[in-house]
């Protein structure tokens, strides 16, 4: 399954995104129309974090990837340096990235959408701003970023 | 081979003519899947389709928890398992497929459409959700299983067309005490450095085999349309050992009836309008970025 082949899912994703974030999220694709994503700018305490919320090929079995369209310090914690989507950039670590666990902190395609990912991105960026100024990440792990 | 002689000791309990019409898709040929596949052919199943990822070979460290042994070391798991199944039931039509179910949607859909029952024997969430979506779409029953960390117990679930799908069940369980058990170990992971994450605590073969046998039992009930309503639910929880807060004593079992998740985006019917046309419009409306 993918966001292209699962037509019903595509419609639901768009509806969820527009209901939650209105027109602030831009619907985009690459020139070959093989990769689709949302562009959005997270604004936290005067800082702007442009992100792409991109759909992997096996979406919704896998969660969307939140990719920074801005450079982050090399020692930024809670990020993944690579992903499955063919787009450059550091990924926000917002879900337990292993595959074999089903816990509170895993993606669930029954209920979760890319719109939720943008909500999580706000919380992650808030934690990041605290880390920049204090050196301490205010939540211990990605589990608490998702909550 | 004499079919009458082969099923002589089980025919009075299970008529192999009933199961001979079944085509069972077994996804995952590991420690759980190999045991389940063995049981399925012992039921007299007519066709078994074995699926595992490409280039999955039997390694020495697999053997102690696998139905196969040293004589098959280095061989493709599905090919070696096919030989094992034919050694038990030579008339069974056993097909093998090397396929990454998360990457080849069309091939997976084709296999699922040819099955009367899907047995999900993989151990990662991505493949479970991918197979769930394919089974829901094809309206083919599916039975999944999982062994909990350390083999303390496990689960067997049944997904029937029109009822709660795997994603519904997973969403329900994420709010249950079972998730709390899993979260205890998740908290020890280093999210900033996923490559160094610790692995799940290993389970013994006896722990895995116990759950695999339960999966086979639920599969058999499903093949026979569960005439007596024996399962009376869609989710079996089984404790191999006592676990505080989860299994009060060893060999505890419970059967739950887990409802569909409200507006599940995987198994709900969705919009009644022309979804295809709406989706095409959305795809065309995407802004092409350099």
Q: Is CATH 3.10.110 the right assignment for the domain spanning A7-146?
A: yes
How do beta strands B47-52 and B23-27 pair?
parallel
Contact: A109, B283; criterion CB under 8 Å: no
Quick one: average pLDDT of B259-285? Answer: 87
pTM of the model as a whole = 0.90
Cβ of residue A129 closer than 8 Å to a chain B Cβ: no
Residue A144, pLDDT > 60, answer no
pLDDT given at position A100: 52
The 10s digit of each residue's pLDDT in B257-268 is 999 998 899 998
Domains of chain B, residue spans: 3-285
The number of CA neighbours under 13 Å toward the Cβ of B219 is 36
Quick one: average pLDDT of B14-32? Answer: 95
Q: Which helix (DSSP H) or strand (DSSP E) does residue B219 occupy?
A: helix B205-223
Contact: A61, B133; criterion CB under 8 Å: yes
Cβ of residue B251 closer than 8 Å to a chain A Cβ: no
Q: Which B positions 118-137 lie with beta carbon below 8 A of chain A?
A: 123-130, 133-134
Which residues on neighbouring strands pair with residue B159, listed in sequence order?
A: B142
The 10s digit of each residue's pLDDT in A77-94 is 888 888 889 999 999 987
Quick one: average pLDDT of B229-257? Answer: 93
Q: Do residues B197 and B190 touch, judged by C-beta distance below 8 A?
A: yes
CATH class of B3-285: alpha beta
Q: Do residues A133 and A46 touch, judged by C-beta distance below 8 A?
A: no
The 10s digit of each residue's pLDDT in B202-226 is 899 999 999 999 999 999 999 998 8
Instruction: Identify the residue with better confidence: B149 or B56.
Output: B56
Question: Considering chain B, what percentage of its residues have pLDDT values greater than 70?
Answer: 89
**Residue B259 three-state SS:** coil
Q: Do residues B124 and B45 touch, judged by C-beta distance below 8 A?
A: no
Asked which of A88-92, A130-134, B181-185, B266-270 is least confident by mean pLDDT, the reply is B181-185
Contact: B123, A100; criterion CB under 8 Å: yes
Residues of chain A neighbouring B180 (CB-CB closer than 8 A): 104
Of B168, B183, B278, the CB nearest to A11: B278
pLDDT given at position A137: 84
Domains of chain A, residue spans: 7-146
Instruction: Identify the residue with better confidence: A102 or A17.
Output: A17
From the CA of A18, how many Å to the nearest CA of chain B?
13
Residue B165 vs residues A69, B124, B222: alpha-carbon distances, Å: 36, 16, 15
Contact: A11, B279; criterion CB under 8 Å: yes
Residue B59, pLDDT > 60, answer yes
pLDDT given at position B186: 43
From the CA of B207, how many Å to the nearest CA of chain A?
17
Cβ of residue B265 closer than 8 Å to a chain A Cβ: yes
For A94, nearest residue in chain B (alpha carbons): B191
């Amino acid at each position: 399954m993918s966001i292209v082949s699962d037509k019903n899912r595509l419609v639901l994703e768009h509806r969820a995104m527009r209901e939650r974030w209105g027109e602030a999220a831009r619907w985009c694709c690459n020139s070959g129309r093989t990769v689709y994503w949302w562009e959005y700018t997270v604004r936290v305490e005067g800082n702007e974090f442009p992100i792409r919320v991109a759909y992997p090929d096996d979406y919704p079995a896998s969660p969307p990837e939140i990719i920074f369209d801005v450079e982050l310090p090399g020692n930024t914690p809670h990020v993944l340096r690579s992903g499955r989507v063919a787009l450059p950039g550091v990924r926000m670590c917002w879900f337990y990235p292993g595959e074999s666990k089903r816990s509170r902190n895993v993606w669930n395609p029954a209920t979760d959408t890319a719109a939720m990912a943008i909500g999580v991105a706000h919380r992650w960026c808030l934690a990041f701003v605290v880390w920049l100024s204090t050196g301490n990440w205010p939540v211990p792990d990605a589990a608490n970023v998702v909550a | 081979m004499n079919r009458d002689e082969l099923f002589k000791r089980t025919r009075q309990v299970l008529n192999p003519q009933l199961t001979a019409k079944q085509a069972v898709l077994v996804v995952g040929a590991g420690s759980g899947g190999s045991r389940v596949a063995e049981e399925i052919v012992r039921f007299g199943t007519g066709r078994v389709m074995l699926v595992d990822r490409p280039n999955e070979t039997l390694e020495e460290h697999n053997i102690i928890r696998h139905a196969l042994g040293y004589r098959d070391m280095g061989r493709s798991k599905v090919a070696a398992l096919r030989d094992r199944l034919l050694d038990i039931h030579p008339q069974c039509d056993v097909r093998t497929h090397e396929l990454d179910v998360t990457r080849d949607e069309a091939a997976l859909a084709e296999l699922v459409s040819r099955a009367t029952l899907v047995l999900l024997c993989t151990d990662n969430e991505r493949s479970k959700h991918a197979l769930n979506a394919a089974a829901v779409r094809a309206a083919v029953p599916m039975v999944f299983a999982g062994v909990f960390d350390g083999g303390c117990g496990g689960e067997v679930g049944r997904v029937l067309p029109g009822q709660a799908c795997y994603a519904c069940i997973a969403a329900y369980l994420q709010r249950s005490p079972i998730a709390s058990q899993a979260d205890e170990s998740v908290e020890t992971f280093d999210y900033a450095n996923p490559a160094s994450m610790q692995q799940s605590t290993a389970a013994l073969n006896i722990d895995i085999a116990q759950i695999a046998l339960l999966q086979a039992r639920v599969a058999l009930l499903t093949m026979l349309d569960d005439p007596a309503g024996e399962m009376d639910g869609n989710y079996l929880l089984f404790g191999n050992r006592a676990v505080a807060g989860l299994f009060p004593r060893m060999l505890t079992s419970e059967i739950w009836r887990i409802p569909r998740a409200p507006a599940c985006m995987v198994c709900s019917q969705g919009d009644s309008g022309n979804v295809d046309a709406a989706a095409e419009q959305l795809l065309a409306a995407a802004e092409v970025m350099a």
